[in-house]
Amino acid sequence: MEKTGLQTAPLGETGLEITSVGFGAWAIGGGGWEFGWGPQDDDDSVEAIHRALELGVNWIDTAAAYGFGRSEEVVGRALGGVSESERPHVFTKASLVEGPARTAVHDLKRDSILGEAEASLRRLGLDAIDLYQIHWPIPDRDIEEGWGRSQS
């Protein structure tokens, strides 16, 4: 299939050129959690990602909080068969972790962010995340710690 001519624009000063439309992966996190969209078929989700890539989309937005890892796992599965040259940019987020009764709890502590990044890389099957974001940066008192650079 021929790719569409989706326009691209620079993503700030990152050097990344992204299409005007991306693939949002919130819903593929499924149901059974505080912000879930209900049951999702993982095979259908993988097919939807592949179709978006076929049509020229060059970025996927997901988050560790979407299904508490499920969305990232499905994105990783979809990208498993994609060549490095065809791989889209992958954006994900940190700071919402699983709390009691599968609710989202805010945590911007350094150790949590580092652990979340490692878990996201593993679920996505990637060596690097193209854009790592803070998901709903609450509480304000911890924003500096969550945004800070690692000393390692």
pLDDT at 131: 94
Give dist(CA 17, CA 89) in Å, integer.
9
Write phi, then psi, for 28 (nearest 5 degrees). Answer: -70, -5
Task: Give tens-digit pLDDT for 70-96.
Answer: 999 999 999 998 988 889 999 999 988
* b/e map 23-45, b = 16+ CB within 10 Å: bbbebbbbeebeebeeebeeeeb
46: helix, strand or coil: helix
**Per-chain mean pLDDT for the chain:** 88
Number of H helices, E strands in the chain: 4, 8
Q: Kindly report the pTM of this predicted structure.
A: 0.87
pLDDT tops 60 at residue 65: yes
112: helix, strand or coil: helix
pLDDT at 150: 55
Could you give the angle at the alpha carbon of 27 between the alpha carbons of 25 and 28, nearest 5°?
A: 70
pLDDT at 1: 42
pLDDT at 142: 67
132 catalytic? Reply is: no
Read off the pLDDT of each residue in 117-136 and give the average, rounded to a whole number.
93
Catalytic residue among 23, 33, 59, 66: 66
Give dist(CA 73, CA 122) in Å, integer.
9
Q: Which segment, 29-33, 45-49, 148-152, is predicted with the most confidence on average?
A: 45-49
